[in-house]
A = this chain, B = another copy of it.
Amino acid sequence: MSGLAVGVDIGGTRIRTALVERSGRIVKHQSVPTPAALQRHEVMQAVLRSISWMIAQAEELGREVKGIGIGSAGQINADTGIVEFAVDTLPNWQGTPIRPLVRELYEHIPVWVDNDVNALALAEKVYGKGQEYSHFVCLALGTGIGGAIVESGRPVRGCFGGAGEFGHLSVNFEGPRCSCGNYGCLELYASGTSMARLARVELEKAGRLGQAEIDRYSAHELLRDWAAGEEPASIAMTTVIQALATGIASIIHIFNPQVVFIGGGVADAGEALLTPLREETHERTSPKMSEACEILPISLGSRAGVMGAAAQVWTEGGSKSIVNMDGV
């Protein structure tokens, strides 16, 4: 039987683990809640428990574990496997020596660690529509906003793994203050959290809903009411789309990519969001750059995270292509 990789996707809400074949086929999958207090040690213990369980599963199947690939929220140094900087979805994560801790338990198994959106981009590159492209960008619109860049087939990581923080691409230098220190960051307009906040302002102005309803109004409801043509939602979404299109236009002028892949919970809105977003971005991008670049949804489903995490094992952290898919 061919070998397997353990893929781990560490997020602020769930820890997903899988046994994945070189072809990308998932043999086993597990998803557990991220410990509620988000304390570093508890999260890491949950991660190690999930890995142990997967390795036991592989043994039961009589298949060898060739390596462990981990994708995690935060800025990850892919050389050391340490969390250089935490993000708001996993705020106590900074400094966690993920790779050293996993290696302590499994010293004979190679371990790769990268940022979760880099892992998503690797899944696209190796198993998804990204196979067709050598220059692309992934933009993950969720509770926060993350990003990853592939240039000439290679990941752009920056000097300590912090590259691709598109959430902190400012689209308004005179806008509201962001936690990063800058003003008017994209995350303040187009993350799920901020979309709901912008909508609440419009709902209060409209005065049709009670305060309790307004307070629990979510990005999901915003997208629903926007589809129904309701005015407060339309006003908020005009701002969201202008800000997001501006950010994507800047990304296109900076990277000259062939594709911008849009993923994350917000992107579940599908073509209802993508169609006006494409139009607005096209308007805001110089013609030649715009013609060269498509805006597409990510092509793999919700398991892309673990698939990409695992793919690090077969590609040496994304630096090699997957060759010889069969008979491994």
Contact = CB atoms under 8 A, between A and B. Distances in A.
A156 B246 contact: no
A174 interface: yes
Given A159-B135, A258-B159, A246 B284 contact: no
A85 B286 contact: yes
A72 interface: no
Interface extent on A, as a size class?
35 or more
A75 interface: yes
Contacts of A169: 250, 253-254
Contacts of A292: 159-160, 162
Contacts of A158: 135, 151, 255-257
Given A171-B173, A288-B75, A134 B151 contact: no
Interface in A75-109: 75, 84-85
A328 interface: no
A210 interface: no
Nearest to A173: B246
Contact of A253 (B165, B183, B253): B165
Contacts of A165: 253-254, 256, 286, 289
Interface string A282-322: 01111111101100000000000000000000000000000
B286 A168 contact: yes
Nearest to A156: B151
A157 B180 CA distance: 28
B85 A288 contact: yes
Interface in A234-256: 242-243, 245-247, 249-250, 253-256
A165 B246 CA distance: 14
A143 to B, nearest CB: 17
Contacts of A285: 180-182
A257 to B, nearest CB: 6
12 contacts: A75-B288, A85-B289, A152-B154, A158-B257, A162-B253, A163-B255, A166-B253, A172-B173, A180-B286, A182-B253, A182-B284, A183-B284
Given A170-B247, A181-B249, A250-B250, 12 more contacts: A159-B257, A159-B258, A165-B256, A168-B249, A170-B284, A171-B171, A173-B246, A174-B242, A180-B253, A181-B284, A181-B285, A182-B285
Interface of A: 75, 84-85, 134-135, 147, 151-152, 154, 156-166, 168-174, 180-184, 242-243, 245-247, 249-250, 253-258, 283-290, 292-293
